[in-house]
Amino acid sequence: MDKKPEEEEQVSEEAQAEELADADVSEEKAADEIEELLAEENSAEEMAEAEEEATPAEEVKPSKKKKKEEEEDIVEERIYTIPLARALVRPPKKRAPRAMQMIRAFITKHMKLEMRVESEEEKGELPKLFISNDVNEKVWDRGIEKPPRKIRVRAAKDKEGNVTLYLAEGE
């Protein structure tokens, strides 16, 4: 009976030795994989840096200038709720066109487009009112006979006095 425990001890020692060897090999593989991943990340970073260096700084500057110009173009920006209930007084087939006329009249009055017209008659440049498709679609959404009773819009005036009308956010 003494032989069996010794054999079991030898077998268990051999099994432990094999497990340790396997663990060392798997640790080496894991270490190699980590090194490869780091090398790939470093090479990707180096490539990105090389691309940034390859693009001249002049190309980046115009995009910043364009953003500044767009921001500077908007001199005045206001949000209005335009009442359109009076458009319902018209005959049913003329209500949506009347609502669009009311929007133009309201924005012309409140953004002072007429005053700019008088001062710029000499130059020949007249300020214009641009209505976005979103506003137009909102008015015509339910058809010609049922325009909305009110609409919330954002009016933006640029340096030249032109006004662009957008649907207010959240509408």
How does pLDDT run across 4-61, given as a tens digit for each residue?
556 656 666 666 666 666 656 566 666 677 777 667 766 666 665 655 555 444 444 4
Single-letter amino acid, residue 170: G
Q: How many CA atoms lie within 13 A of 162 on its CB side?
A: 8
What was the pLDDT predicted at 32? 75
What was the pLDDT predicted at 60? 43
Best CA proximity match to 79, nearest among 160, 153, 4: 153
Name the percent of the chain lying above pLDDT 70.
55
Collapse the DSSP code of 49 into the 3-class scheme (helix H, G, I; strand E, B; otherwise coil) and give the result: helix
Q: Quick one: 147 exposed, middle or buried, by C-beta within 10 A (0-12, 13-18, 19+)?
A: buried
What was the pLDDT predicted at 127? 86
Q: What's the pLDDT tens digit per position in 92-107? A: 999 999 999 999 999 9
* pTM of the predicted structure, to 2 decimals: 0.55
What was the pLDDT predicted at 161? 86
Mean pLDDT value across the chain: 76
Residue 115 — pLDDT band, cuts 50, 70, 90?
low
Best CA proximity match to 82, nearest among 167, 163, 142: 167
